[in-house]
Amino acid sequence: MYEVFEHTADLGLRIEAGDLPALFSEAARGLFSMIVEDLETVVPASERVFQLAGTDQEYLLFDWLNELLYTFETELLLLCHFEVHLEPNSLKATARGELFDSARHHLAHEVKAITYHQLSVRQIDAGWRAEVIVDI
């Protein structure tokens, strides 16, 4: 589960999930829900594999979302489905989506950057919670 909230001139993303891989997956879906008005219009037609190194969960989440944003900015690849696997020192994920099509996809926000401001990943009773602020 994710929810988007307003934060001054930015947008915030609050994510909750039962485990860390699901948290990272939901964070990715949340990011793309900020970019495209209706994430359901994105078809999981092509596949991309991502691998990132890192031991700190907060920085790994930052790097993950930053890599996804970079992929969208450079390739116009909208992603909608994510399978994330976490190891002690890395993340490996398979993401599915399609190229942006202006006839079918309507952009919601121009996400300029993922920020470190109020970045958090912490364990809660129901699993995990993360908060990320993005610059729009």
pLDDT in tens, 23-72: 999 999 999 999 999 999 999 999 999 999 998 999 999 999 999 999 99
Q: How far is CA 75 from CA 4, 20, 56, in A?
A: 24, 27, 28
For residue range 75-92, list pLDDT tens digits in order.
Answer: 999 999 999 999 989 999
User: 57-75 and 20-35 are packed helices; what angle lies between their axes, rounded to 10 degrees?
Assistant: 30
pTM here is: 0.92
CA dist., res. 46 & res. 48, Å (int):
7
Domains, the chain, with CATH or none: 2-135 (3.55.10.10)
Give the Cα-Cα-Cα angle 65, 70, 76 (nearest 5 degrees). Answer: 115
Burial classification of residue 48, based on how many CB atoms lie within 10 Å of its CB (0-12 exposed, 13-18 middle, 19 or more buried): middle
